[in-house]
Amino acid sequence: MKIGIYPGSFDPVTFGHIDIIERASKMFDKLYVLVSFNNAKNAFFTPEERVEIIKEVIKPLKNVEVISSSKLTVEVAKELGATALIRGLRAVTDFEYELQMASTNRTLNGDIETIFLMTNTQYSYLSSHLVKEIFALHGNISHFVPKYVEDRLIKKVKEEKTK
Amino acid sequence: MKIGIYPGSFDPVTFGHIDIIERASKMFDKLYVLVSFNNAKNAFFTPEERVEIIKEVIKPLKNVEVISSSKLTVEVAKELGATALIRGLRAVTDFEYELQMASTNRTLNGDIETIFLMTNTQYSYLSSHLVKEIFALHGNISHFVPKYVEDRLIKKVKEEKTK
Amino acid sequence: MKIGIYPGSFDPVTFGHIDIIERASKMFDKLYVLVSFNNAKNAFFTPEERVEIIKEVIKPLKNVEVISSSKLTVEVAKELGATALIRGLRAVTDFEYELQMASTNRTLNGDIETIFLMTNTQYSYLSSHLVKEIFALHGNISHFVPKYVEDRLIKKVKEEKTK
Amino acid sequence: MKIGIYPGSFDPVTFGHIDIIERASKMFDKLYVLVSFNNAKNAFFTPEERVEIIKEVIKPLKNVEVISSSKLTVEVAKELGATALIRGLRAVTDFEYELQMASTNRTLNGDIETIFLMTNTQYSYLSSHLVKEIFALHGNISHFVPKYVEDRLIKKVKEEKTK
Amino acid sequence: MKIGIYPGSFDPVTFGHIDIIERASKMFDKLYVLVSFNNAKNAFFTPEERVEIIKEVIKPLKNVEVISSSKLTVEVAKELGATALIRGLRAVTDFEYELQMASTNRTLNGDIETIFLMTNTQYSYLSSHLVKEIFALHGNISHFVPKYVEDRLIKKVKEEKTK
Amino acid sequence: MKIGIYPGSFDPVTFGHIDIIERASKMFDKLYVLVSFNNAKNAFFTPEERVEIIKEVIKPLKNVEVISSSKLTVEVAKELGATALIRGLRAVTDFEYELQMASTNRTLNGDIETIFLMTNTQYSYLSSHLVKEIFALHGNISHFVPKYVEDRLIKKVKEEKTK
């Protein structure tokens, strides 16, 4: 059984991520979507919320499981028996960072291969960061994330305000 | 009447920006320079100060108006009747970000076209961030910004100290 | 009256070019599409054929005129009274070359501004060269060029064979 | 059964290619190495010779088959029942071209996914073209290709001279 | 006597930096390694600790001296009589930033030349930032920094905890 | 005595090359400018003419010698006792190719270091190829090459015609 793992921050998950998840799910018997986080970075959603949101939007994909961890990705991969890390490639800036991570992960664990899929050109300039920026300025994000994600962003903002 | 809008942080305006403003002002009947800001980013000058400074250094350009807003650029453009956003292109890192923004803005409002002008090679590695870094280390910034901007930087630092 | 010029090889014109022509035609009172050629490069279509093909596919755009020339683009622009060269930007490799040309043209004639438009992401990896390669291998090019262009490619190949 | 296909010119195969073949062979039940060629490009080795050479240097890999074709890669993939194209990524220039090809292939056949593997950093600046250039100048190519490939290059040059 | 200066944050020094120091030390009669710092950036090691660590790991290089300063690099270079700044080049993102700095430094002081050396491909995706990230997640960093640097990282973390 | 070598095609030498030669000549006791050529590439000037032209335009630099060779650059460097290859860096496309060559040369001869200097931003988009293209279209090349080079281009064209 071939097991893959797709790590990321997913804060929040976008149509670009969902496209990669769908395509990667066809390539493996089992695909893990890994919400990786570290305490330093200030995030919009908690890791638990992000897992919850991804689970909701990829519900139809039966061989995909969503988890979260603050450990090194290669460690998580090893524990799960995954032989491949999946990463989406969008643009050149991405590319450099991605090669750095792939090279580093290979140094840390030579048994796990990093596999890159090309992000659909339609989503090639889409990022979680951008979604949050536009949302903060009350722009329309319906082309970038599913309705459910939009609702959660709105709900979260309301919660923050009533704190 | 063709109306253009040149958005940016302009914290502070540099010779690179001024070059773009001059060239863009010839392409439109009316050009707005838009100081865009969001509260999160910590800036050196307030939006009001930035508007004031740009007004001073582009005084001879009669068809240029300087404004500020915290709204989405495409929204401001729509309200002003602008049909084109102007952006300067310097280098590859720029380029990626700029295409991302142009693509996003097009998704948000298909009626507004983003127009890129090439920054004069002389200013191709110049940025507001760099100016502030060199200024902070007491370096000479006279090749990067007009004398008036330099004076305002000095004045601002004095004001901060006497607070 | 603002006059623009969009130079290129257009061998053949693609959906990417047509997208740029449509958008640029809205920005100018008059837009020239300039088929530039030099004898050295071996082309598929003659400059005359390329002009003919572009004329056909952009027929609805009333303020666009298609011409050809082997002269320096800035010279042609000057003769036509154009104040702006239009270029589409696709990707990073493009970008470098385009900045080189814009910088050179500015050195040759400072009165003519180069304006870059971002190619629609849908066409961001499309090129005339690619179209010819796929066509040569009997691939389906209907997503890349209008039906008329496809017919002309087929016709041209037949003519070549009967020579 | 998962079938992959690794297309390329392989003129000649280098240690960089061999690294990708080895790693890809672990990811699929069956891997085809496809020597693609078109008549226009002037090659050093004939497609037949290239197939022969690759066969020799990857002999230990039992699930790998080497073939050649002048057809579109996606067509060959379809005929062989392959669901994935494998490509090695070295550097940024590569990257642009590779995204172009992946995007094009996806447009031509949405059922075949392009998978990118990162070339080992050790080989990140290695190319067949470079090998031929150094060989032509009598440089030492033993760090770039297996001994067998070097011998074949020498043999080929001798054959050419005696023609 | 030719004097060179190699500025950087070195927080902490990596095998990539050490490679550049060794190679640069052969090119100059005297080489200064300059730990540059500014108060704004939050660092792991203090400038004094960084100097101490570099001194330890480059002990065998007799013509290299390690210093620290918060002044502009070109100012420090001038005071020391250095005629060249040395910088390692890794990847494209680097490249843009490095050209920006070199161009700026040249504007600030035309007598000091910036010299770029290519980072060994083996270290081409290595950075101090990456080392700290992997260390924070308890990953193995022995391929990235000397044992002594690893020990100092561990010691520093212990000190922080007991504060 | 430190000896450097600056290899290139120099077909023809431009202001960008001359800028690098001047700066490199200050860094070495002796600098060789090496006109490298291979028979395959079709050049405008013969290697002998190129040597002659460079000699003329850099006459004031007393420690510079101009030579030509069709051998591997590292071989020539070794024969001349040079310890450093000098290369100018302009833009990103350059950068990739240059790293490839530096990495290759290091594999071929670890004793010779490649040193990169940043091309003056003023010349950052200048190339010999561009000069020839503009010259062929009767454009003004006086901003790109010295008067002497322009005269030689004109003379060469006349000679070709009378053949």
Please tell me the distance in Å from A109's CA to the nearest CA on chain D: 14
Instruction: Identify the residue whose tokens are 């020597």.
Output: D35
Coil, strand or helix: which one is D34? strand
Q: B133 vs chain F: nearest CA distance in angstroms? A: 21
pTM of the entire predicted model? 0.90
Chain F residues in contact with E1 by the CB 8 A cut-off are none
The stretch A125-139 carries a mean pLDDT of 91
Q: Report the C-alpha gap between B8 and B32 in whole angstroms.
A: 11
Q: What whole-number distance in Å separates Cα of residue B51 and Cα of residue D103?
A: 44
Tell me what pLDDT residue A39 has.
Answer: 60
Residue F138: left if φ>0, alpha if ψ -120 to 50, beta else—which one? Answer: left
Interchain CB contact of B103 with C (< 8 Å): yes
F18 and F146 Cβ atoms separated by less than 8 Å: yes
Nearest to A4 by CA among A114, A99, A124: A114
Burial letters B135-154, b for 16+ CB under 10 A, else e: bbbebebeebbbeebbebbe
Please state, in angstroms and as integers, the Cα–Cα distance from residue A126 to each residue in A9, A119, C126, F15, F25, following that order: 14, 10, 20, 42, 48
- Output the pLDDT for position F99: 80
State residue F18 phi and psi, 5-degree precision. -65, -40
| pLDDT value at residue A30 | 97
| Chain E hits for F2, Cβ within 8 Å | 2, 27
Write the CB contacts of D119 (distance below 8 Å, at least 6 apart in sequence).
Answer: D16, D19, D20, D88, D89, D90, D126
Q: What is the pLDDT of residues F22-53, one digit of tens each?
A: 999 999 999 999 999 876 567 999 999 999 99
Say whether C118 sits in a helix, a strand or coil: strand
Q: Distance between CA E60 and CA E68 in Å, rounded?
A: 20
Backbone φ and ψ of D138, nearest 5°:
65, 30
C-alpha–C-alpha distance, residues D98 and D89, integer Å:
8
Q: How far is A84 from chain E (nearest CA, A)?
A: 19
Residue of B149, B107, B113 lying closest to B12 (CA atoms): B149
Measured CA to CA, the distance from residue D42 to residue A54 in angstroms comes to 50
| Chain C environment of D108 (Cβ under 8 Å) | 134, 139-140
Say whether B147 is catalytic: no
pLDDT at A162 over 60: yes
The ipTM of this complex is 0.89
Amino acid at F149: V
* CA–CA distance, B39 with B48 (Å, rounded to integer): 13
In Å, how far are E17, E99, F17 from B121, measured between CA atoms?
31, 12, 17
8 A C-beta contact, residue F91 and residue F16: no
**H or E, element range at E75:** helix E73-80
| pLDDT tens track for C96-125 | 778 888 888 988 998 999 999 988 888 888
Looking at residue A40, what is its pLDDT?
A: 54
In sign, the C-alpha dihedral spanning A92, F117, F121, E126 is positive
Is D121 touching E (CB cutoff 8 A)? Answer: yes
Map residue F113 onto helix, strand or coil: strand
Q: How far apart are CA F9 and CA F101, in angstroms?
A: 14
d(CA E3, CA E33): 11
Options C9, C25, C68, C128, the catalytic residue: C128
Q: State the amino acid at position D131 in one-letter form.
A: V
Task: Name chain F contacts of C97, Cβ cutoff 8 Å.
Answer: 93
Structure tokens at A107: 């140094």
Look at residues E142, B54, E107 and name the one whose alpha carbon lies nearest to residue F120: E107
Q: What is the pLDDT of residues A22-81, one digit of tens each?
A: 999 999 999 999 999 876 567 999 999 999 999 999 999 999 999 999 999 999 999 999
CATH number of the domain encompassing residue E91? 3.40.50.620
Q: How confident is the model at residue B39 (pLDDT cuts 50, 70, 90)?
A: low
Domain that holds residue A41: 3-161
CB atoms within 10 A of CB A149: 26
Question: Quick check: helix, strand or coil at residue B42?
Answer: coil
Question: Are B5 and B76 within 8 A, CB to CB?
Answer: yes
- Band of pLDDT at residue E97, cut at 50, 70 and 90: confident
Q: What is the C-alpha to C-alpha distance for residues F29 and F52, in angstroms, rounded to an integer?
A: 22
List, for residues B120-161, the tens digit of each pLDDT value.
Answer: 888 888 899 999 999 999 999 999 999 999 999 999 999 988
Active site residue C55: no
C125 in B contact zone (CB under 8 Å): no
Task: Give chain D's domain count.
Answer: 1
Residue D120 above 90 pLDDT? no
D107 touches chain C (CB under 8 A): yes
| Token pair for E120 | 């060994």
Do you find a cis peptide bond into B12, omega within 30 degrees of 0? yes
User: CB of B123 within 8 A of CB of B117?
Assistant: no
To the nearest 10°, the Cα dihedral for D10, D13, D15, D17?
Answer: 30
Angle between helix axes A92-108 and E128-136 (nearest 10 degrees) is: 50
| Spans of chain C below 50 pLDDT | none
Identify the pLDDT of residue F98: 82
Whether residues D139 and F72 touch (CB distance < 8 A) is answered with yes
Nearest to F95 by CA among D48, E59, E124: E124
